[in-house]
């Protein structure tokens, strides 16, 4: 990589958390590819599709690349075709990705998660319907025996012992992520998957120490953070992805609770909140539009001491720059837009008059 002058645009200013400096504020949101093998010794193992997918965004100038939700256990996969990080074979394949991403000047990150009651579904392009034990799937687990939607199975209600086993699986996954070469780790607490299911009273009907009050509903999230932080090195940043609201009236997780949880997560070693919304319940009314989730990140920034990243229909460079310049977020996370254009960061640099490093073989085109 050849050096380039520092950019004046906020979007291209470096951002440092703990010992890690991310070269710009254009970050790739985790997006499942549903492209791993489902069974056998290579189940959940990254292959050429995953390498090419992440390598393209690194050569495209993306500052931080957060790998898709990677399951902490086979039962924690959203689909049988998800990536996993529950064994060392998976680690070896992931190391190939992190090595290349670092060589391009980007920072490799990974999101680890458990799908809870939304586990064991088909690939999205095949409809994403539940896949049961009589097919290629399994019975999902959850805080309470409340199905995600009509046509979905009633999940197994986790015992306290099983909750602790899953907490240990998150910690083990963090250790493997370190061995694989990742420099940023994100815990998936959003979109109605297991941690989010514990947070929301809509899906958490427990009457023990993991249900009811705010303190009880957030207990699992905090215990996972503590277990992960005990393994994840002090010098490396830890993110937490949250759905800031379930978009439900009356019995859902709320923006006020997100603000309250942000301060709690900060106390337990989380360095940044990745702020999304929704995913817990189907058929809710969401006012989708450009930047529609940015106000939730802005609240976290304004009302807590925890840094926040914004996501959600951020598609244009000037839009992204304005979000950062206005202090609404510390970084922007691009999802579908980076699927459409792996070189979005380079287009943004041209439009905003900034300069970013270019791989030497590409200099003739810059």
In the chain, how many H helices and how many E strands?
A: 11, 12
CA gap 176, 13 in Å, rounded = 30
Residue 273 contacts residue 306 (beta carbons within 8 Å): yes
CA gap 33, 46 in Å, rounded = 10
Among the listed residues 182, 193, 343, 362, the single catalytic one is 193
CA atoms within 13 A on the CB side of 160: 8
Residue 46 contacts residue 90 (beta carbons within 8 Å): yes
34 annotated active-site: no
- Residues whose CB falls within 8 Å of the CB of residue 52, separated by 6 or more in sequence, listed in order: none
Q: Measuring CA to CA, which residue among 5, 4, 15, 75 is closest to residue 44?
A: 75
CA atoms within 13 A on the CB side of 339: 10
Active site residues: 193
């Amino acid at each position: 990589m050849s050096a380039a002058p520092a950019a004046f645009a906020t979007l291209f200013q470096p951002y440092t958390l703990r010992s890690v400096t991310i070269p710009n504020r254009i970050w790739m949101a985790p997006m499942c590819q549903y492209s791993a093998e489902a069974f056998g010794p290579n189940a959940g193992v990254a292959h050429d599709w995953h390498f090419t997918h992440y390598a393209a965004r690194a050569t495209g100038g993306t500052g931080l690349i957060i790998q898709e939700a990677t399951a902490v256990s086979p039962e924690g996969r959203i689909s049988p075709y998800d990536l996993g990080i529950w064994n060392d074979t998976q680690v070896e394949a992931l190391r190939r990705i992190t090595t290349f991403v670092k060589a391009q000047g980007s920072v490799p990150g990974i999101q680890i998660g458990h799908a809870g009651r939304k586990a064991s579904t088909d690939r999205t392009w095949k409809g994403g319907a539940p896949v049961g034990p009589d097919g290629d799937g399994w019975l999902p687990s959850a805080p309470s025996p409340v199905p995600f939607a009509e046509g979905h199975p009633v999940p197994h209600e986790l015992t306290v012992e099983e909750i602790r086993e899953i907490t240990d699986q998150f910690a083990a996954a963090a250790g493997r992520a370190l061995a694989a070469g990742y420099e940023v780790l994100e815990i998936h607490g959003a979109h109605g998957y297991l941690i989010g299911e514990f947070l929301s009273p809509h899906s958490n009907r427990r009457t023990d120490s993991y249900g009811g009050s705010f303190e009880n509903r957030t207990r699992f999230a905090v215990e996972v953070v503590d277990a992960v932080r005990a393994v994840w090195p002090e010098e490396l940043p830890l993110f937490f992805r949250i759905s800031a609201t379930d978009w439900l009236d009356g019995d859902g997780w709320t923006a006020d609770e997100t603000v309250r949880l942000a301060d709690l997560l900060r106390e337990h070693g989380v360095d940044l909140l990745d702020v999304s919304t929704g995913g817990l319940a189907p058929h809710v009314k969401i006012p989708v539009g450009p930047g529609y989730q940015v106000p939730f990140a802005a609240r976290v920034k304004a009302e807590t001491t925890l840094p926040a990243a914004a996501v959600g229909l951020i598609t244009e460079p000037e839009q992204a720059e304005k979000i950062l310049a206005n202090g609404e977020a510390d970084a922007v996370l691009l999802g579908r837009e980076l699927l459409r254009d792996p070189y979005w960061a380079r287009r943004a640099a041209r439009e905003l008059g900034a300069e970013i490093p270019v791989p030497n073989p590409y200099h003739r085109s810059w």
